[in-house]
Amino acid sequence: MSGRGELAVAVLGHGAIGSVVAYALHTGQVPGAGLAAVVDPCPPPPPLPAASLDQAIDRADLVVECAGQDALRTAGRAVVAAGRDLLAVSTGALADAALHRDLLAGPGRLRLCAGAIGGLDVLAAAARAEAFDRVTIRTTKAPDALLRPWMDEDQVARLRAAAAPVEVMRGFAREVTRAFPATSNVAASVALAVGDWDVVEAVVVADPAASVSRHEIEARGPAGRYRFEVANRPSPDNPRTSGVVPHAVLRAVEVLAGATGRFA
């Protein structure tokens, strides 16, 4: 806790998500929490408190990762090993079982942000009752948001020329979140909620008519049947990210800062 009794928060990444999170914390919009540091290779200008990762760990109670799967892989272990809590938005990095195990080893606690989707609470509750038989998540985005460096020229041309929805990938959540690290963290989040990477099938669709990012989640198991659809407007700063995500991070920080009367 800071001298003022607030939860001291360091923000890792000052892009579309992190800049909104850092500004809200800096301007006192999250009761019980304040901004201690912002870490980014391209540091934010003053008055935001730019810092190295080591300085951020020194100053913060909670480090919020809004910087991508690679950043969670490279910075996460140092955060929890120093006894700081870590709130991760790039949940797909946890497809790496060794990293996931290390981040759970503490002493800092690993927290996961629901990010662009919802329904994870009831999926986790149902999976706790009895394992799911089948879970799918189908993500539909505009083609440009799905272009990846590993795609060959033909794939890129096919996506760019698509006049109708095109299925780009179908597979287990683990492989899909690795292939689309900036847009399929949601597949990992569903797998983490149900506690089984191998029961979740993820489908990625490029739709030239998509003006929103759509996630359709269906799950079936002994506890019941669940179906959710989320349609998010993209962030004005990054078409791969939904505009709601920084607010999901801020909601999670509020809860961790001790706000009462909130869904846990």
Question: Which spans of this chain sit near ligand NAD (rule: CB under 6 A)?
Answer: 12-18, 39-42, 66-69, 71, 74-75, 89-91, 115-116, 181-182, 185-186, 189, 238, 241, 245
Beta strands in 66-199 (DSSP E): 85-88, 110-112, 134-141, 166-172
Q: Which is nearer to ligand NAD, 78 or 223 (CB)?
A: 78
Kindly state the smallest distance separating residue 161's Cβ from ligand NAD, in Å: 26
Crossing angle of helices 185-194 and 120-129, in 10° steps, is: 30
Q: Which is nearer to ligand NAD, 33 or 112 (CB)?
A: 112
| Nearest Cα to Cα of residue 172 among 115, 131, 134 | 134
Q: Is 215 annotated in the active site?
A: yes
**Separation of alpha carbons 35 and 126, rounded Å:** 36
| Sign of the CA dihedral with 259 first, then 28, 243, and 178 last | negative
Q: Which is nearer to ligand NAD, 223 or 238 (CB)?
A: 238
| Nearest Cα to Cα of residue 144 among 239, 214, 216, 234 | 239
When CB distances to ligand NAD are compared, the closest residue is 15
Q: Which is nearer to ligand NAD, 42 or 164 (CB)?
A: 42
Q: Which is nearer to ligand NAD, 55 or 74 (CB)?
A: 74
Q: How far apart, in Å, are the Cα atoms of 160 and each of 153, 202, 207, 211, 262?
A: 10, 22, 10, 15, 43
**Max Cα-Cα span within the chain:** 57
Residues 250 and 243: beta-carbon distance below 8 Å: no
Residue carrying structure tokens 């800096």? 26
Q: Which is nearer to ligand NAD, 90 or 140 (CB)?
A: 90
Kindly state the smallest distance separating residue 61's Cβ from ligand NAD, in Å: 18
Kindly state the smallest distance separating residue 130's Cβ from ligand NAD, in Å: 26
**Separation of alpha carbons 64 and 177, rounded Å:** 20
- Of the candidates 14, 26, 100, 215, the residue annotated as catalytic is 215
Residues 64 and 7: beta-carbon distance below 8 Å: no
DSSP 233: P
Kindly state the smallest distance separating residue 73's Cβ from ligand NAD, in Å: 9
Active site residue ranges:
215
